[in-house]
Amino acid sequence: MSDVIKIFHGPQHPGVTGNMSMELDLDGETIRRAVTHVGYLHRGFEKLVERRTLIQAFTIVCRICVPEPDPNEENLARGIEELAGLEISERAQFIRVLVLELARLQAHLLWLAGQGGSIGHEVVPQWAIGERDYILDLFEELTGGRVYHMYIYPGGVRRDLPDGFLDRVAAVLDQLEQRLPEYDRIFFENAGVKKRLQGVGVVAAEEAVANGYSGPVIRGSGVARDVRRDAPYLVYDQLEFDIPTQSAGDAYARALVRRAEMNQSIRILRQVIDRMPPGTIQCKLPRHHKFTLPRAETYVQTESARGAFGYYLAGDGTEYLRRLQVRGPSIVHAFTLLEQLLVGAQLADVALIMNSLGICPPEIER
């Protein structure tokens, strides 16, 4: 029997999804034990929010998942609105959907670049990052920031759409639709990619349901769960879209789910562009130092590219939240699931299994 060697995969490693580390016990190239380590990143977001006024707090939560901050902004804003009894305009709701679906698209492109790099595919990361930059250009024009937007705001959104903005969104979608068949040809239908991903990191549907997995992980195991359809928010119940699923439950199935979700996001965005209503973008808010919440609590959810994001908010009659509790998909995906899937896997598969789960470490260190 060979000796077991302990190594650390990350935090400074191109094959991890953020500032985290996997402690691995290796028997040759086979992993016998895997332990997730976090604590390398900024953390304590929940307490930072609780120590700031309601208006100040929304600048904090976008850091909870850097690659896709907008679902966090939407959760906090909608939770505050529910507690305060605020009703936002239909135009503001449509604009929020526009932002959330653009965020989903760029997050899937970032995933595609990371998974391509994990497999050793040199072309896909360059194409996908370049394609993503066109979406970040739109965010910069709309919000002033490419990554952190701080745009979805209690009562609506922070500013209206610039003149001609929807036309520029449509142009980016046209360009992406032309490119997607090329990604199919060189990546998703590539025999080498299939050989690396098929049969790797298999998750059974029963396990996914029992452990609360979400997003492409649960849908890749054949369970069609999506907060946008199951518990509609904003104007998602007025839009037509499908929930893509695959039955194999492996890393390749999760890749196909993300690829199909790109089509659905484009489909949603085109409906938003065609149906964007006129009107105001912000309801009237109380004065900054008079904006208080009742002694009440609520729980809101948003479907991110990685899965369901849930926010528990409790007010106590002041301009501060008494309690904020964040439940992101990375909690269970990085601990319950990743540590289990890596046992028996090969060292070369660590990065691609991790990427297939869509783990975002700041969610864990919230």
pLDDT at 253 over 90: yes
Mean pLDDT over each residue of the chain, to the nearest integer: 92
The tens digit of pLDDT for each residue in 297-348 reads 999 999 999 999 999 999 988 888 999 999 999 889 988 899 999 999 999 9
164 conformational bin, left if phi > 0, alpha if psi -120 to 50, beta if neither: left
CA of 63: how far to CAs of 67, 72, 141, 324, 357, in Å?
Answer: 9, 9, 20, 15, 20
119-173 pLDDT, tens digit each? 888 899 999 999 999 999 999 999 999 988 999 989 999 999 999 999 999 999 9
Helix (H) or strand (E) holding 26: strand 21-27
Strands 321-327 and 4-9: unpaired
Question: Which of 310, 303, 278 shows the shortest CA–CA distance to 97?
Answer: 303
E-strand spans in 62-213? 152-153, 156-157
The answer to whether residues 341 and 203 touch, using CB atoms and an 8 Å cutoff, is: yes
Q: Distance between CA 22 and CA 264 in Å, rounded?
A: 34
Determine the distance from the C-alpha atom of residue 5 to the mean position of all C-alpha atoms in its chain, rounded to a whole number: 34
Q: Which residues make beta-bridge pairs with 26?
A: 5, 31
Indicate if the alpha-carbon torsion angle 45, 48, 50, 52 is positive or negative. Answer: negative
Output the pLDDT for position 362.
83
Query: For residue 252, what are the domain limits?
Result: 4-364
Length of the chain: 366
* Alpha-carbon span 330 to 215, nearest angstrom: 11
- How many structural domains is the chain composed of? 1
pLDDT at 1: 45
CA pair distance 37, 11, nearest whole angstrom: 9
Residue type, 148: Y
CATH of the domain at 47: 1.10.645.10
Hey, which residues does 297 pair with through a beta bridge? 314
Contact in structure between 29 and 346 (CB atoms under 8 Å): yes
Q: What's residue 12's pLDDT?
A: 79
Q: Which residues of 330-341 are buried (b: 16+ CB within 10 A; e: fewer)?
A: bebbbebbbbeb
Helix (H, G, I), strand (E, B) or coil at 325: strand
